[in-house]
Every structure is written in C-alpha cells, then in structure tokens.
Amino acid sequence: MTHTPTHCWWGNQVTESGRLVLIVSCSQRKRPDPGLLPALNRYDGGHFRILRKARREGYWPETMDMRILSAKYGLLAGSTPITNYDQKITRDRANELHSQVLQVLQTCARQHTYREVYVDLGRDYQAAIEGLTQVFNGSRVVYANGCIADVRTAVVVFLDRLTRGDPRAEYGLPL
C-alpha cells in the first residue's frame, strides 16, 4: 500500500516565481568526522543524503533556502559549521529554543519574500516553531506529515518537480 502525504509540494504553486524555504529537523545519525563540518554535511540521515545528492547533481533549486532545527544549536543554515554531538530534542528543549528560532525565521522573512515554507519536523520540535505562520504571513506554509518514507518521497518529488517536471508517476504517486 502506498502512502501519500496529505500536503505535498507538487501543486501549481511550485512552478510560480519566488523563493522557497525548507525547514527540517536535525538527524540522530551524524558523520563522525572530527572538527567542524557544514550542518548539511554533518547530519547523515535520509533527508540529508537526498539533499546532498540534489546539490551534488545540480537539482538543488537556486530559489530554495534550507534551515535545520538542531537540538543543540537551534535553527541554522545548512552551511553553518557544527561539531559532532549527541543531543536529542525534548519538548522542554524546543521551548528553550523558541525565541532563537523565531528570531532566525524573522530575519529570513525580512531578507526574502517566500512564496512557500515547507516544514518537516517531528512532534517534539513543534514548540520551537510556534508562530511560524505569522512570521511568514502571506506565504503558503506546508507541514509534512505521514510516515518517514512519505516525507522523504515528498522531498524527492519536490526537488524533481522544480528541475524536471512532474515525476509523480515515476514514484508511484497519484497524479
């Protein structure tokens, strides 16, 4: 049985002009390299492998920004250098991060007009982004939901759609 996310990026809005921002959670799996690595390279969960492949193979949209919500560092850009660490998000930690996260989001919203904000965060991260819709007032805000495979598929489909057209049939998703 194929599960399809109820909110996906393959609507008509994807082809309109404007910037996009992808907000994802950090991953427990990290590359153990010593020293600092850009966050996009440090985290090694499934989403990050997909995103690195998109960048490496040239289908990372120039109009897409990414922010990562880290249990240790708060909200950061994929290019932000970070060390290896082991800290899991808790609801208390998400509440502690809330102010910093909103500040970063407000800065993003002042610097760019985003037509769409795609949020892929687990339940425990939600308190950290409370107020996100008001920060990006006028932008379409989409929250990923479903099992992890559905969400990963939605990210792949989104990236493909931006660069190659509508790949839903290739991934067995409804047209």
For residue 66, the domain's CATH number is 3.40.50.10630
| pLDDT at residue number 58 | 85
Low-confidence residues of the chain: pLDDT under 70: 1-17, 146-175
Whether the Cβ atoms of residue 98 and residue 127 lie closer than 8 Å to each other: yes
Question: Two tokens at 76?
Answer: 């950061």
The answer to whether residue 4 is domain-embedded is: no
Compute the mean pLDDT over every residue in the chain, rounded to the nearest whole number: 81
The answer to whether residue 170 is domain-embedded is: no
Instruction: Give the range of the structural domain holding residue 159, as residue numbers without chain letter.
Output: 15-164
| pLDDT at residue number 5 | 30
Sheet holding 140-143, edge to edge: 74-77, 64-70, 19-25, 114-120, 140-143
State how far Cα 22 lies from the chain centre: 4
The answer to whether residue 105 is domain-embedded is: yes
The answer to whether residue 88 is domain-embedded is: yes
Q: How many domains does the chain divide into?
A: 1
Spatial distance between the Cα atoms of 77 and 60, rounded to a whole number of angstroms: 15
The answer to whether residue 155 is domain-embedded is: yes
Spatial distance between the Cα atoms of 10 and 17, rounded to a whole number of angstroms: 14
The answer to whether residue 124 is domain-embedded is: yes
The answer to whether residue 33 is domain-embedded is: yes
Query: pLDDT tens across 60-77, in order?
Result: 888 899 999 999 999 999
| pLDDT at residue number 144 | 79
